[in-house]
Amino acid sequence: MLRGGFVCHLGVVVDGDPMVVPTVYGFDSGQIYVHGSVASRSLTQGSTVCVTVTHVDGLVLARSVFEHGVNYRSAMIYGIPRLLEGPEKLEALRCLTEHTAPGQWDYARRPNRKELAATTILAISLQEASVKVRQGPPGDADDPHDVWAGVLPLAQAWQSPVPDALVTHPVPEHIRQRTGTSL
């Protein structure tokens, strides 16, 4: 489920108020990693957070608008985040980078000390996680209303890379290979 995307929503409570922040994630077999600026109020540790990832696969259009729905896959992860430092922080950044853009860690410049100091990386255990899926056609086949009903599938695919205006290098193979592939 986590392999199918790269943006999650991090839900936290800051000064008594709920806050949900979209962010890029990476993961391994035991934890999910989120990152951001050290100044970010959403990247605090010590209290339980909720991380959600949702993939929309299609719009379910029924005979009645009451029965309309969405085909989707979602995961919710609850846990107390742990602040990463040193080699563990660098490994989490590598994991996050390789999840979002496979091959980029070895291609681009790695973060320097100043950049690492400006970045917070949190790890949240995958131990408290649940997955929910809805798939299939509308559930009102017995409705006598004679109109079209079915699923309008949704697919996301990577488009052709657009180089920065200052770039003179060709698009690297690991980026070019993603063109036309789905998330």
Distance from C-alpha of 78 to C-alpha of 92, rounded to nearest angstrom? 19
The pLDDT > 90 percentage for the chain reads 85
Q: Is the pLDDT of residue 45 over 80?
A: no
More confident residue, 141 or 79: 79
Q: In terms of Cα–Cα distance, which of 58, 60, 67 is closest to 143? A: 67
Third-level CATH fold of 2-176: Pnp Oxidase; Chain A (2.30.110)
Q: Where are the domains of the chain?
A: 2-176
In this structure, what token pair is assigned to residue 62? Answer: 């029924």
Q: With beta carbons less than 8 A apart as the criterion, state whether 156 and 133 touch.
A: no
